[in-house]
Structure 1
Amino acid sequence: MKAMILAAGLGTRLRPLTDEVSKPMVQLGGRPCIEHTVLLLKAHGVHDIMINLYYKPELIMNQFGDGSMLGLNINYSLEKELMGTAGGLKIVQNFFGDEPVLIISGDVLTDINLTEFYNFHKKKGGIASLAVKNVQDPREFGVVLLDDEGKITQFQEKPRDVTPISTKANTGIYIFEPEIFDYIPSDIFYDFGKEVFPDLLSKGQAMYGYETRAYWCDVGNLDVYKAVQFDILAGIVNVDMPGKKFENCIWLGRRTDIDPDTQIIGPVFIGEKSIIEKGAKIYGPSVLGSGSIVGKNAVIKRSILLEDSYVGDNAEISDSIVGKKQRIKAFMVCENRTLVNKASFEDFNIVGKNN
């Protein structure tokens, strides 16, 4: 089986983080989100991967190259204009040939058992299998209705203004038989949820819902982004974090420089080549990206620092996100803020509760 990772979206709901990187490249637990997806595919024996790209494609291409460093064969489809989830697949039909097709998003975090999902698909024998998950609030998701055998009998796209037909959300993780390409027209924008699946249903094609209890989260906004980071630290989702885990749920990347006179209370992740200076205090859940610098007596609480960020001496950061390469001046106080833009925050004195 070959896989396609959908990674062409703009990620507008995750701005300002996605002003500088594409949504799949946003850091989660010390890795880009899409890297967790690639490693999940590898863990389940999927080695031939196609990734479609549109917004800032060079970031993902530079991250993985041809995949050989990971023992994978990674190919890319650069879309000149967005073609939709199904339209993007149609473009690369020749890559899949007569093999089953696995579709998964590059901007969600999941530890779904893909091997079990594939076995379910082959046992059911339908043209398509969709991984579905029970959610508390289905209004932001496409939902499906299943019969007693797991066969999909009805679809409903984001039932915000009507009563949902079920609580089973479409996760965007699919397995198709190669005949799926017969139901996707060429050279136009085409969507699985809005067009392909209703068409298959109307034509009597069998589709099944694989109900998963695995972790699955669409990193759709900043609040969810923080929650997912903290879920990783809490071990709620099974992903591979770089570095070494120590006591009290503390992960340290390679070549970190931490002064002995510091206080770190987990769960905390500190990326490689980071520097934590004398007297600093870091309270979890917190994530510090690679190359972060935390100055003397600075305090970090329940916050996320992206790569190469700098927190000056005696500064205090709480419940906040500090963007890549941002600089927080000494004695600044930042509470419940997202500090991501191209300006240096050394131009400010106080941010947050004392503003």
Structure 2
Amino acid sequence: MDNMKALILAAGAGTRLAPLTNELPKPLMPVANRAVMSHILRLLEKHNVKQCIANLHHLADQIPAYFSQAHNSDLLLSYKYEPELTGDAGGMRACKSFLQGGTFVVMMGDILTDMDLSMVIHQHKAKRALATIALKRTDEVERFGIAALDNENYIVQFQEKPKREEALSDLGSTGCYVFEPEIFHYVSCQGSYGFGRDLFPNLIHLGLPVLGVEVDCYWSDIGTICQYMQSSFDVLDGQIDIDIDGTRDSFGWCGSNASMDTNCRINGKLLLGKNSRIEANVSINGYAVIGDNCTIGAGSKIYNSIIWSGNFVACNSSIANSIVYGSERVHILKSSAQLLAQNLSTAGSCRSSCNNSIDRPMEYA
């Protein structure tokens, strides 16, 4: 795998994650206080990928700006701006000159996984495949591309998000692919072109070797608010092997220079970011991810929530099943209705009913 290259598809608008994606492009959604794309890059580097390119479109300037500060590795990272979205395979086509030198990997920019990518690449080469799809069994076939395999694990049919009763298997695409450079001979030269809708069915129709490799690992996408929250809580549960910034403690993880009053009550799992402070008599139940440079005011209650970096939560606030996010401006808000109306918080519950409760004024920074 000398000089292996990869593409991260990072151009999409992430509309199902709005209003969060009004603030950040989806690949920068913080999972355990680190952009999800950062976790992808670390996975690629772990499996000896040396160079990576990301295609950009929505809030395009933010991704290079983030990684100019946060990317500390030997993996070379470059970018390709797309003025118009042209589908996921169209995004790969836009990066042809970078990728066409040899076998390469493509990963969606919104997935969280600890899959054995080296094993997938090895199987791809051993079976002399033109294209390989990493597959994982799913109970939600209608959300994914579904593959039917022959006895040699080549894909004989591919369905894009079939109805449950029409699905040919429960093997869903993970959004991780391996290709040979000859793949560009089969990608339309112009217009929108998709992997599941266009490329894979066409390759199979032509009888070309498209391999399916089943992976046994943690895998999630963060395509919706509920999935984003659940993925973040899965990290706290230790379901995925990823790097977390902080020291392991009895309650979870504590970032450098973070502090917590001795009178806090934690009945659950917490990730407390760098330089953050939890004041006296704060109660945390369920799961809580608190970003860097946050202050949680005395007497506040937090339940199953994510608070992005740079926030000040006023004393005696109550935050449940919520994601608190926004700009660097300071707002003093008098009611949860006003908070929601100004798009400074959103709620999505994976473990209980969706609701938002912010009982006292909150300053937002």
| TM-score, with structure 1 as normaliser | 0.90
| AA at the equivalent of 2:261 | D
Aligned to 1:184: 187
SS in structure 2 opposite 1:13? helix
Distance 2:331 2:127 in 1: 56
Q: Does the 8 Å contact 1:142/1:193 carry over to 2?
A: yes
Distance 2:71 2:331 in 1: 38
Aligned to 2:271: 269
After the TM superposition, which residues 117-156 of structure 1 pair with which residues of structure 2 at under 5 Å, given as runs?
117-156=120-159
| AA at the equivalent of 2:180 | E
1:167 equivalent to 2:170? Answer: yes
Distance 1:81 1:229 in 2: 31
CA RMSD of aligned residues (A): 2.6
Change (3 A) 1:17 1:333: closer
Distance 2:118 2:149 in 1: 22
SS in structure 2 opposite 1:61? helix
Aligned with 1:37 (options 22, 34, 40): 40
Deviation at 1:329, TM superposition (A): 6.4
Number of residue equivalences: 347
After the TM superposition, which residues 44-59 of structure 1 pair with which residues of structure 2 at under 5 Å, given as runs?
44-59=47-62
Deviations 1:163-206 (CA, angstroms, capped at 9, x unpaired): 11111111111001111011113232211111111111111101
Change (3 A) 1:312 1:328: farther
Deviation at 1:92, TM superposition (A): 1.8
Aligned to 2:312: 310
SS in structure 1 opposite 2:42? helix
Change (3 A) 1:196 1:340: farther
Q: Does the 8 Å contact 1:16/1:340 carry over to 2?
A: no
Distance 1:84 1:90 in 2: 10
Distance 1:26 1:68 in 2: 15
Distance 2:47 2:176 in 1: 14
Aligned with 1:320 (options 314, 319, 322): 322
Aligned to 1:348: none
The more displaced of 64-73 and 211-220 is: 64-73
1:114 equivalent to 2:117? Answer: yes
Change (3 A) 1:205 1:269: same
Q: Does the 8 Å contact 1:305/1:324 carry over to 2?
A: no
Aligned to 2:300: 298
Deviation at 1:106, TM superposition (A): 1.1
Aligned to 1:72: 75
Change (3 A) 1:187 1:65: farther
Distance 1:321 1:327 in 2: 17
Deviations 1:180-236 (CA, angstroms, capped at 9, x unpaired): 011113232211111111111111101110001111112121111111111010011
Aligned to 1:251: 253
Aligned with 1:13 (options 3, 16, 29): 16
SS in structure 2 opposite 1:47? strand
Aligned to 1:81: 84
Change (3 A) 1:67 1:312: closer
Aligned to 1:260: 262
Aligned with 1:200 (options 180, 203, 208): 203
Q: Which sections of structure 1, spanning at least 5 residues, go unmatched?
A: 346-350
Distance 1:170 1:71 in 2: 29
Change (3 A) 1:287 1:339: farther
Deviation at 1:339, TM superposition (A): 5.1
Distance 1:180 1:22 in 2: 28
Q: Which sections of structure 2, spanning at least 5 residues, go unmatched?
A: 347-355, 361-365
SS in structure 1 opposite 2:198? helix
Q: Does the 8 Å contact 1:184/1:196 carry over to 2?
A: yes
Q: Does the 8 Å contact 1:315/1:331 carry over to 2?
A: no
Aligned to 2:352: none
Distance 1:28 1:340 in 2: 25
Deviation at 1:67, TM superposition (A): 8.5
SS in structure 2 opposite 1:57? coil
| AA at the equivalent of 2:61 | E
Aligned to 2:351: none
Aligned to 1:233: 236
